[in-house]
C-alpha cells in the first residue's frame, strides 16, 4: 500500500458523526508536516461516495476545501450528523476524532521516496 492509499485507509476509520483534520491524519501517517499533502490527496480522491474525504477539516473547525465544492461538503457532513454553522463545524471538540489505528508509516517510508507515490 502506498502513502496515498494508507491515507485513505486512515480516513475510512473516522466513525459516523465525527470529523478529523488534515494535520491529525498527517500525524497518524507519522509526520504532521504532511498536512498539505493530505489535503491534496483528499482533493484527488477518485470516489467521494466511498472515501469520506468530506470528514477532513481544518484544525480550527473550519471546513477547508472539497473537490466537489463546499455546498456538497456541508450536505455530506449534515447527512453524517455533523452540524455546520458559519463555515465551521459546530461542537468541533465533541465530534473531533484522533483515535486512528496506525503504524505511522512515514517514519519507515520516508527513507524511500519512491514508495510515497
Active site residue 53: yes
Burial class (CB in 10 A: 0-12, 13-18, 19+), 100: middle
Which one from 19, 42, 53, 82 is the annotated catalytic residue?
A: 53
SS (H, E, C) 18-33: CEEEHHHHHHHHCCHH
Contact indicator for 83, 89 with CB cutoff of 8 Å: yes
List residues with catalytic annotation.
53
Amino acid at each position: 500500500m502506498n502513502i496515498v492509499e494508507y491515507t485513505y485507509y486512515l480516513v475510512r476509520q473516522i466513525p459516523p458523526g465525527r470529523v478529523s483534520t488534515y494535520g491529525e491524519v498527517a500525524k497518524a501517517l507519522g509526520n504532521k508536516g504532511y498536512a498539505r499533502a493530505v489535503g491534496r490527496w483528499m482533493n484527488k480522491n477518485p470516489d467521494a461516495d466511498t472515501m469520506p474525504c468530506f470528514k477532513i477539516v481544518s484544525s480550527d473547525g473550519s471546513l477547508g476545501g472539497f473537490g466537489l465544492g463546499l455546498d456538497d461538503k456541508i450536505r455530506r457532513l449534515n447527512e453524517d450528523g455533523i452540524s455546520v454553522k458559519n463555515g465551521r463545524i459546530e461542537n468541533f471538540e465533541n465530534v473531533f476524532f484522533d483515535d486512528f489505528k496506525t503504524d505511522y508509516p512515514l517514519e519507515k517510508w520516508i527513507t524511500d521516496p519512491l514508495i510515497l507515490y
